[in-house]
Structure 1
């Protein structure tokens, strides 16, 4: 078994050993010491208190890879997180020790053309918690830039703060597709990202939202979260034509924006086929690497296909939506585990098993 060097015990000034969940191989997570990087002048040290498991974490856990990101050495997982500031860099001005913060997990270079244009989420030098080869945040403590730590108001819990990360995907998607009070929305896929996209679309004012999935249990959850209608579909691409008619009938109006939150050939074909001429399709899910889809028929109807990758500048709006009650993410947290060896093993197996597990959360 590959281990973490015992010479890097990760002890802080108080003699406490910082521990983290290291992925050492397929389905092999071990809690071992983690030596934090030095605290820079604009960094803060944060004690992690809440962390959710993402689908990408599960892919790493099951396969040691997620899309084109491959784990080649032991790595710490986790990026949906919130905690309490314990130490400040010498130049930190906006935060104080004891502040409760939600962490935006990606640090961009800030100097490339994409960053300069404000599109830092597609920075080629992005270092993202728990995305190979960058260590993640499933640890007692992490060091993170001050400007990526957002103070939480008293009425927003640390668990809700951790949920800002997946919610940011839905918010960024709605911004990219220009969802508003005159936009009827179709969501393909009722997994965690489909559900946060549903919540975001409603908060952006979408008057009617229909969600589709193969799993009736997930659809019932979506209805409880505010979907106007739901449609259960098959995995057979031959059924797309018939299902699109049913989806359009259920919407009972134009489908102005569709979000594919899955990323398979069938899900994207469904979204493209169901959307009204002149509408938009947001591609969020990335389950399948290469897709064969009916782009010609979409082109003659002037369907805009909008790529959506992570998010940018979303945490303030997430926190506003949560603090005002416009969005409630608490029903999405279905399972909670402690940060112990058994806890991390059970949590990841629960998340990997699907079923009724939507968001699996650690209380660190």
Structure 2
């Protein structure tokens, strides 16, 4: 089969790669579509995230949908059916899984996160519990973006948002926009979005943001020196946490969803302390896939508008560069490995 390999920092190759072996508790699926996530861009541009180094010859990709190559009668799934896939394989046995923190499982096997190869290939091996049946009218793009929506939904769950709160989202990439879509579906009205990239804040306006700003300084000036009770940090900036503190009210809460370039944040501790800011980090998602499917099926959230670009596997290098450098008004790029 063909696969996209990260050979070195900013170096990609498309090569013949061994097909995944058949295991008793896995099934082989044909990858239908796979998205480029912010973490994939960190692997591409930095060679890893923290201690998770990709090395040479790593296959990225964890946001994906697949075509079944065999039926699964107990799940009412037929051969050839299009399904969504949760990339996480937690152990379900450790103390953290038993407490409901499957997304924090130290023993998780996560497709597309080192050392586990991902779905930017023609075929991938998955466990049955990772498969989610989706309505037949779901597009490949929507099926891929269910994972992005799940990350956003987990962050919103952690926030325990209250109906009356004013909310600010830093970053209007796919995750930030999914957070916005979820909050709007819940009836939230006073949602502000900050992003220096013009085309991205225009997407935020189209998705219901009350006001958009190019900088936190502009936002704070608009608020007459104040801030909001709840901030979602959804950028890749090392300044993201510090800027979130600036945008927060006294007693405010920050949910950190983004991954900063260089794996480090810098912030002024005294400002956070004097304001009594609560900071909570969000990692991947809990068991929310069925909820994301339901939200889209009921029309509460639409996702196709986020998929702005599609590519064949052979054009993967171009796809990564365009995303990394924000070319051509890109939000989410989807690769089709079998086209």
User: TM over 0.5, yes or no?
Assistant: yes
Gaps of 5+ in 1: 1-17, 234-239
Identify if the C-alpha distance between structure 1 residues 38 and 227 changes in structure 2 by more than 3 Å, giving closer, same or farther.
same
3-state secondary structure, aligned to 1:131: coil
- Is 1:325 equivalent to 2:299 in the alignment? yes
- Is 1:286 equivalent to 2:270 in the alignment? no
Could you list the per-position Cα deviations for residues 36-66 of structure 1 after superposition, in whole angstroms to 9, with x for gaps in the alignment? 132323x332211111111221222233223
Question: 1:215 maps to what in 2?
Answer: 197
Identify if the C-alpha distance between structure 1 residues 199 and 283 changes in structure 2 by more than 3 Å, giving closer, same or farther.
same
Question: 2:65 maps to what in 1?
Answer: 82
Question: 2:214 maps to what in 1?
Answer: 232
Question: 1:310 maps to what in 2?
Answer: 284
Question: 1:23 maps to what in 2?
Answer: 6
Contact 1:76 1:136 in 2 (8 A): yes
Contact 1:277 1:303 in 2 (8 A): yes
- Is 1:335 equivalent to 2:281 in the alignment? no
Alignment RMSD: 2.3
Which is worse superposed, 273-282 or 117-126?
A: 273-282
Cα distance, 1:161 vs. partner? 0.7
3-state secondary structure, aligned to 2:297: helix
Match of 1:131 among 113, 128, 132: 113
Contact 1:335 1:359 in 2 (8 A): yes
Cα distance, 1:327 vs. partner? 0.9
Distance (whole Å) between structure 1 residues aligned to residue 132 and residue 71 of structure 2: 14
Contact 2:253 2:278 in 1 (8 A): yes
Could you list the per-position Cα deviations for residues 113-141 of structure 1 after superposition, in whole angstroms to 9, with x for gaps in the alignment? 11111101111112211111110011222
- Is 1:360 equivalent to 2:333 in the alignment? yes
Gaps of 5+ in 2: none
Contact 1:21 1:32 in 2 (8 A): no
Match of 2:242 among 269, 278, 281: 269
User: Structure 2-normalised TM-score?
Assistant: 0.90
Distance (whole Å) between structure 1 residues aligned to residue 149 and residue 177 of structure 2: 9
Distance (whole Å) between structure 1 residues aligned to residue 106 and residue 276 of structure 2: 30
Question: 1:9 maps to what in 2?
Answer: none
Could you list the per-position Cα deviations for residues 168-223 of structure 1 after superposition, in whole angstroms to 9, with x for gaps in the alignment? 11111100001243232100112222222211222233222100112222211211
Distance (whole Å) between structure 2 residues aligned to residue 254 and residue 108 of structure 1: 38
3-state secondary structure, aligned to 1:36: coil
- Is 1:206 equivalent to 2:178 in the alignment? no
Question: 1:350 maps to what in 2?
Answer: 322
Contact 2:168 2:192 in 1 (8 A): yes
Question: 1:236 maps to what in 2?
Answer: none
Which fold has the larger relative contact order, with Cα–Cα distance below 8 Å and residues 6 or more apart in sequence? 2
Match of 1:118 among 100, 112, 121: 100
Contact 1:23 1:29 in 2 (8 A): yes
3-state secondary structure, aligned to 1:48: strand
Question: 1:98 maps to what in 2?
Answer: 80
3-state secondary structure, aligned to 2:31: strand
Match of 2:221 among 246, 266, 274: 246
Contact 1:54 1:80 in 2 (8 A): yes
Which is worse superposed, 174-183 or 47-56?
A: 174-183
Cα distance, 1:149 vs. partner? 0.9
3-state secondary structure, aligned to 2:125: strand
Identify if the C-alpha distance between structure 1 residues 247 and 163 changes in structure 2 by more than 3 Å, giving closer, same or farther.
farther
Query: Whose Rg is larger?
Result: 1
